[in-house]
Structure 1
């Protein structure tokens, strides 16, 4: 495909408006042609339809869709899009289960459709240089601290507390998407403790211990009850000093104290995602890495559930 990819945005919520829309507008290889929203939301007065069936019947020429829906309904929407011959951009996490994503990958492959499991945190500016630096080092210990205030970042989002909504692993999977990308050896879960509020079906906090295949411990601390300064940090102790990624990968500090880049917010992450999506569509390939989702699934499989006080906004 050489002409701009005609894309429909499915689910017009905060992340779609704040990140997807400007990233699409800045990419000459992609043109936003429609919105899909049950409530009729739209962008820039573009046509809006309530569902994918209506989009298929609308006569609007569409090549691809970007799914910004909750993970519990992402599989059915993606499967319908693939059946319609549309390439699919999946917001993270790519599905509610590993089996769903595997089925989508098989369906996309059979249909010759490009499927993209997007992990926006991998496109933070500090991640690629951190990966390059760590490739030649021996890892001693990794500490992941991802603590934020759910009232600030997910106000009123009831779905995130439901079964399949991931709870604190919704941001925690961002940390895992970075760790699985930058660490030179795979890591495996050893134990986990998951804190479930008495009135919720998803955890508000988790402590997870992994160990990589070379023997280095990887400890992850997730908590949605953080007030004040928020923490999105990965510290990697190596045989040649300690590397630090802060602000979700936006700030990288090498062992000598040098900080080659420091940005606020999701600097360049979604433009990077859409550049990658255009690349795979034009090449006729897919990019579906389930490693971060697999670790979340393992945490639920191996984790000890602890009931904590009820959480209300």
Structure 2
């Protein structure tokens, strides 16, 4: 097996929790360098800026970008311009136009661009897609609720334009849904709740339409207490399917089904290696289209100010 050196750009929580262990466990990749202004990881060469890494290490053919979406476009474009294969953490960009431009750049350069959606690689995702194939869909309900203080502590970028707010986790549900459903949905309405001191929503209620009068609804909320709710329930003409724990568990009419899969991020890196070997790219913007439509069509309402430290609330 050919081992590909890879550089990891952005050493934050998701990199430490998911990317670094997944690369370490994948025989197709070797973590040759990191890029982080605040320091990398012990035992791995680190550069403060991606430009410095690209100049110093022309021998590293692949780059995985895990920084926030707003600065990601410039980093991805630089990496493609330097002849590297690029993997993008979700969401793949701060706008649809950026992602499509990167896709064109990768095609022109003959390099792989992988816009990842990690929830599509959840343990039960393939089994759910296969079970739903050929069935008539009657109703769809998505509940994606978590505590932002737990999952994004002190991350101011996520509340700024381009940070997506509650759509940062909500887009995981949309990516999973768009993989498993045998029909296509489009957004028809949204209500977005913006804290009075923030530029991104803390909650969103969405409605979608599909073929034959199908309606779907999704509720995203960052104010959840008492444990996360990451579930999708789909009623068909024969039974009801439910995915829970972000797609890790599958139930049909209340009975849990056995599923086997390597896990989200190990599966992502396996897919990246396959794409590089085949000389292909994988870029799907459908989940990001739903989010853009929500901001375009959504009714904005103001809600109470949000503070990272609850003690700041007067």
| Normalised-by-shorter TM-score class | over 0.9
Cα distance, 1:124–1:59 mapped onto 2, change above 3 Å: closer
**Residue in structure 2 matched with residue 121 of structure 1 by the alignment:** 119
Answer yes or no: is the 8 Å Cα contact 2:192–2:299 preserved in 1: yes
Structure 1 unaligned residues grouped into runs of 5+:
none
Aligned length: 308
Query: What does residue range 121-200 of structure 1 map to in structure 2 within 5 Å?
Result: 121-200=119-198
Residue deviations 1:243-277 (CA, integer Å, cap 9, x gap): 000000001001262432499xxx71000000000
**Residue in structure 1 matched with residue 312 of structure 2 by the alignment:** none
1:297 aligned onto 2:292: yes
Secondary structure of the corresponding residue to residue 161 of structure 2: coil
- Name which of structure 1's ranges 253-262 and 10-19 shifts more when overlaid on structure 2: 253-262
Secondary structure of the corresponding residue to residue 55 of structure 1: helix
Q: Which residue, out of 222, 234, 239, partners 1:224?
A: 222
Secondary structure of the corresponding residue to residue 94 of structure 2: coil
Answer yes or no: is the 8 Å Cα contact 1:253–1:260 preserved in 2: no
Structure 1 runs of 4+ aligned residues shifted over 3 Å read none
Secondary structure of the corresponding residue to residue 212 of structure 2: coil
Answer yes or no: is the 8 Å Cα contact 2:63–2:79 preserved in 1: yes
Separation (CA, whole Å) in 2 of partners of 1:251 and 1:269: 13
Answer yes or no: is the 8 Å Cα contact 1:121–1:269 preserved in 2: yes
**Residue in structure 2 matched with residue 269 of structure 1 by the alignment:** 264
Separation (CA, whole Å) in 2 of partners of 1:295 and 1:86: 30
Q: CA RMSD in A?
A: 1.3
Separation (CA, whole Å) in 1 of partners of 2:254 and 2:43: 51
Separation (CA, whole Å) in 1 of partners of 2:66 and 2:254: 40
Structure 2 unaligned residues grouped into runs of 5+:
309-314
Answer yes or no: is the 8 Å Cα contact 1:90–1:118 preserved in 2: yes
Q: How does the TM-score come out when normalised to structure 2?
A: 0.96
**Residue in structure 1 matched with residue 311 of structure 2 by the alignment:** none
Separation (CA, whole Å) in 1 of partners of 2:9 and 2:274: 21
Q: Which residue, out of 201, 207, 210, partners 2:208?
A: 210
Residue deviations 1:139-188 (CA, integer Å, cap 9, x gap): 00000000100000000000000011000000000000011000111101
Separation (CA, whole Å) in 2 of partners of 1:52 and 1:146: 34
Secondary structure of the corresponding residue to residue 89 of structure 1: strand
Residue deviations 1:94-118 (CA, integer Å, cap 9, x gap): 0000000000000000000100000
Answer yes or no: is the 8 Å Cα contact 2:112–2:276 preserved in 1: yes
**Residue in structure 2 matched with residue 92 of structure 1 by the alignment:** 90
Answer yes or no: is the 8 Å Cα contact 1:68–1:91 preserved in 2: yes
**Residue in structure 1 matched with residue 19 of structure 2 by the alignment:** 20
